[in-house]
Copies of this chain bind each other. A is one copy, B any other.
Amino acid sequence: MKKKKVSLGDIAKACGVSKATVSFVLNGKGDQFNISKAKQKLIKEKAKELRYIPNFFAKSLKQGETMTIGLLVPDMSDPFYAQICKIIQEDLYKKGYGLFIINSNDNKKEETGLMRELIQRGIDGMIIIPGNDIDVLIPVLLETHIPVVFTDRPGDNEADFIGIDHDKEGYNIIRLFREKPNAITIFSEELTITPDQNFVNGIIKYCVDKKLDYKHIPINKKNEQIILEKINHSKDAFITVFPKTLFKLLDISENNKTNLFKQHQLICFGEHVAFSYMNPKISCLKRPVKLLAKQSVFRLLERIKKGKPHGSHFVQKCIPILRETH
């Protein structure tokens, strides 16, 4: 059932040389160690013949690095995170690193366990999009000394962070509406994640500053009546926190044969491929995915390879994409 894998030793035996020699040759250090061309050739051929595949782990064990990065992401099937995953994977790959991904589903209870799961696997560093606030993560972070980068959602001042300023983005989003709104309704899922709360708080702060009426409605069965009320009997400008919420809102509206956009301006926080194919085309505030992903990798490798200290904060602006609904 478990056929034995070919190891360095097997090649060494087959060639009548020592493991060291084989190791040197196969790692391109043959010349450096003055191993005769003939022998080098022999070894390389033998390796190919025996279909030798080096055991990465054994190497890692010895060298203390695994060339593997861990990524903790809320939901890799969400297009936003999926893109992040992809870019991170590809950028890391170019630098010789592999990627080990775990979905947290924003399950706060399990998050620290999942992080430990990653650490156990001997990763050289990790990028996390945490569901929990920093204080619950700190115990795990203290258990290890590998570099950690927080992406999209911040840790604390001590921690590396690559993301956006949710508070500020929330504060500024209302200025994007074509017509100055009289009142704002914010739709979202239940706000369990602090940065999302901050985004909504930003909106509210603006409303308070500008003396705008506002209401925040989590989308759920229980609120369906009040949602319909808002759709049908108000002229509020709508803000949806993430495309998923917008889709749910549309479902509700559709099920009740009402047209959401007849008397409402709408901006969605977060972009979605679908938006430009919908009717009307959805205006949104796009998060700078690519930049965040690339910068996260860049930063993490800087920490790992150059031993740079932590605590850098890379805050990027969102990009308004104004199509038809704003």
List residues of A whose CB falls within 8 A of some B CB: 1-3, 5, 51, 53-58, 60-61, 64, 66, 68, 75-77, 79, 82-83, 85-86, 89-90, 93, 98-103, 116-117, 119-122, 142-145, 247, 250, 272-274, 277-279, 307
Contact = CB atoms under 8 A, between A and B. Distances in A.
Given A53-B116, A274-B278, 13 more contacts: A2-B64, A3-B145, A53-B120, A55-B120, A57-B121, A68-B121, A77-B86, A85-B101, A89-B101, A99-B101, A250-B277, A273-B274, A277-B278
Contacts of A57: 57, 60-61, 66, 121-122
B117 A98 contact: yes
B99 A100 contact: yes
B102 A89 contact: yes
Contacts of A250: 277
Copies per complex?
2
Contact of A142 (B51, B93, B117, B121): B51
19 contacts: A1-B307, A2-B145, A51-B143, A53-B119, A53-B143, A54-B120, A57-B60, A57-B61, A75-B86, A76-B76, A76-B85, A77-B83, A79-B79, A85-B85, A85-B101, A89-B102, A98-B100, A98-B102, A272-B274
Given A142-B51, A277-B278, A101 B101 contact: yes
Contacts of A247: 273, 277
A272 B278 CA distance: 13
A61 B98 CA distance: 19
B82 A93 contact: no
A51 B143 CA distance: 5
A142 B119 CA distance: 32
A121 to B, nearest CB: 5
A61 to B, nearest CB: 5
A27 to B, nearest CB: 13
A53 B141 CA distance: 12
B90 A103 contact: yes
A129 to B, nearest CB: 14
A56 to B, nearest CB: 5
Nearest to A142: B51
Given A143-B53, A144-B53, A274-B274, A77 B66 contact: no
Nearest to A48: B143
B5 A145 contact: yes
Contacts of A56: 120-122
